[in-house]
């Protein structure tokens, strides 16, 4: 159970994170140099009221997902992240569970890609963070909770992504996505959240269950994608997935060849989308 010390730690660490370090505007009058509560709530994907209650010691037993999101938003190094889990009365995720820790060095790398659509997923394709250009391109996922943050669930059970498919490419994509998740499940057999995700996917999607039962093991790979954007229209981009050594994090990056119509459309929708997200 979270104690008053948990809330004090969150408040103390919130005060030391300058907004510009988190990709937020630093303008306006501020009583402190750090993040406001509403900014921390936005970065962590939780409500301002919940952040307030946690800091004031009026909320107890935050979930591991909430603690992980707060640690990520506060940019805590590994030792402080583990300490925050202990203050919440939880064991920090160990080597047998899918890693969700984004190190400060990886975070600094992401900070330098402010004009490029970038998202970070864990090994099971659960979205950890997405920058504003990525949200503008693929849709704002900050309000998704639980399984809705998982790309496999979003494809098989949810409305799916904006990526265009032919019947043949859809079959290949789905087979590769399930094969990749099966390989991850074999690598992290003790992860209860991953086991629960697979069970719920099997229950809610006949197509997923069919592919899962086929026993194929492989790796999901992406190259070029055409994204049907509701305002900018179709835009064809290179999609690269980079894996962080030692953590199995997937960094998904969308780029367009300079000087092309696709590059112009990407720049336009990024501007329009980020304005809408900030409005």
> For residue 23, is it within any domain?
yes
Radius of gyration for the chain, computed over Cα atoms and rounded to the nearest angstrom: 19
Overall average pLDDT of the 20-30 stretch: 65
Q: In the sheet that 249-255 helps form, which strands lie side by side, from edge to edge? A: 127-130, 118-121, 249-255, 233-244, 224-229
Supply the CATH number for residue 246's domain. 3.30.450.180
CATH of the domain at 42: 1.10.260.40
Among 78, 136, 105, 66, CA closest to 245:
105
Q: Which of 10-19, 124-133, 140-149, 257-266 has the lowest mean pLDDT?
A: 140-149
Helix 48-55 and helix 4-15: axis angle, to 10°? Answer: 120
Work out the average pLDDT over 79-94.
Answer: 87
Structural domain includes residue 206: no
Q: Which pLDDT does position 221 carry in this prediction? A: 67
Q: Tell me: pLDDT of 253 over 90.
A: yes
Q: Are residues 69 and 133 in the same domain?
A: no
Q: What is the mean pLDDT of the chain?
A: 87
Considering the domain boundaries, does residue 186 fall inside one?
no
45-78: string of b/e by CB count within 10 Å (b at 16+)?
Answer: bbeeebbebbbeeebeebebbbbbbbbbbbbbee
Over the stretch 176-188, which tens digit does the pLDDT of each residue have?
999 999 999 999 9
Please tell me whether residues 137 and 226 are part of one structural domain.
Answer: yes
How many domains does the chain fold into? 2
Residues 69 and 115 placed together within one structural domain of the fold? no
What average pLDDT does the segment 237-243 reach? 92
Domain that holds residue 222: 104-166+218-278
Indicate whether 1 pLDDT > 60. Answer: no
In a domain, 179, yes or no: no
Residue 51 in any domain: the answer is yes
| Judgement on whether residues 135 and 228 belong to the same structural domain of the protein | yes
pLDDT band with cut points at 50, 70 and 90 for residue 165: very high
pLDDT band at 24 (very low <50, low <70, confident <90, very high): low
Q: Residue 37 pLDDT more than 60?
A: yes
In a domain, 153, yes or no: yes
56, 87, 118 — which closes off a domain? 87
User: Is 113 within the bounds of a domain?
Assistant: yes
State the pLDDT at residue 218. Answer: 64
Residues 82, 132, single domain; the answer is no
Q: What proportion of the chain, given as a percentage, has pLDDT over 70? A: 90
> What local confidence, expressed as pLDDT, does residue 141 receive?
81
Q: What is the reported pLDDT for 250?
A: 93
pLDDT of 279 > 70? The answer is no
Pair (22, 80) in one structural domain: yes
Assign 162 a pLDDT band (cuts: 50, 70, 90).
very high
Residues 137 and 229 both lie in one domain: yes
| In a shared domain, residues 153 and 225 | yes
Give me the residue label for tokens 């506060």.
Answer: 74
Instruction: Enter the DSSP assignment of 202.
Output: H
**Is residue 11 one of the residues assigned to a domain?**
yes
Same domain, yes or no: 123 and 237: yes
Q: How confident is the model at residue 275 (pLDDT cuts 50, 70, 90)?
A: low
pLDDT mean over 102-121 = 87
Decide: helix, strand or coil at residue 27: coil
In order of 8, 22, 57, 68, 216, the CA distances from 87 in angstroms are 10, 24, 12, 13, 41
């Amino acid at each position: 159970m979270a104690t008053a010390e948990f809330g004090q730690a969150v408040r103390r660490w919130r005060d030391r994170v300058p907004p510009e370090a988190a990709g937020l505007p630093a303008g306006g009058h501020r009583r402190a140099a750090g993040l406001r509560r509403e900014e921390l709530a936005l970065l962590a994907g939780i409500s301002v009221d919940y952040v307030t209650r946690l800091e004031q010691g009026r909320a107890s037993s935050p979930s591991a997902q909430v603690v992980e999101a707060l640690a990520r938003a506060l940019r805590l190094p590994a030792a402080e992240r583990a300490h925050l889990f202990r203050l919440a009365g939880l064991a920090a995720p160990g080597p047998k569970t899918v890693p969700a820790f984004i190190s400060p060095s990886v975070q600094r790398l992401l900070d330098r890609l402010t004009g490029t659509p970038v998202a970070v997923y864990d090994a099971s394709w659960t979205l950890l963070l997405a920058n504003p250009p990525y949200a503008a391109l693929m849709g704002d996922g900050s309000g998704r909770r639980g399984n809705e943050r998982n790309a496999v669930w979003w494809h098989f059970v949810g409305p799916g992504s904006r990526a265009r498919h032919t019947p043949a490419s859809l079959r290949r994509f789905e087979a590769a996505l399930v094969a990749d998740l099966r390989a991850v499940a074999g690598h992290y057999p003790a992860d209860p959240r991953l086991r629960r995700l697979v069970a719920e996917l099997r229950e809610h999607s006949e197509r997923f269950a069919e592919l899962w039962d086929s026993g194929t093991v492989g790796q999901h790979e992406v190259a070029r994608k055409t994204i049907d954007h509701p305002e900018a229209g179709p835009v064809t981009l290179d999609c690269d997935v980079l894996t962080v050594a030692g953590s199995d994090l997937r960094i998904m990056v969308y780029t367009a060849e300079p000087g092309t119509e696709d590059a112009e459309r990407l720049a336009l929708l990024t501007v329009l989308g980020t304005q809408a997200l900030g409005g």
